[in-house]
Amino acid sequence: MPQYLEEQGLSKPEEIVPDDYFRWMFPRLVEHRLPRYQEIADRFGVVLDATRIDDIHSETEFLELICDALE
């Protein structure tokens, strides 16, 4: 928060507009977490055939897509 206050020329947290702070903070939060997200994707991620997405109309069809990707 001190960095945000300084960059925005604010002197105290009470001056922060919550929506502005969120727009400033969110990309930094995601960037900070990218290595962790990549680690999770590398360990547990599944690549799906995107061309089949439009043909899914039920939970069963979705689960079949996932099962096919796991094989």
CA quadruple 47, 52, 54, 59: dihedral positive or negative?
negative
Helix, strand or coil, per DSSP, at residue 25: helix
pTM passes above 0.75: no
pLDDT digits (tens, 9 = 90+) for 11-68: 999 999 999 999 999 999 999 999 999 999 999 998 888 898 999 999 999 999 999 9
State the pLDDT at residue 35. Answer: 97
Per the structure block, which two tokens stand in for 55?
A: 């043909």
State the pLDDT at residue 48. Answer: 87
How far apart CA 4 and CA 35 sit, in angstroms, is 23
Per the structure block, which two tokens stand in for 8?
A: 């925005």
State the pLDDT at residue 71. Answer: 84
State the pLDDT at residue 11. Answer: 96
How far apart CA 60 and CA 67 sit, in angstroms, is 10
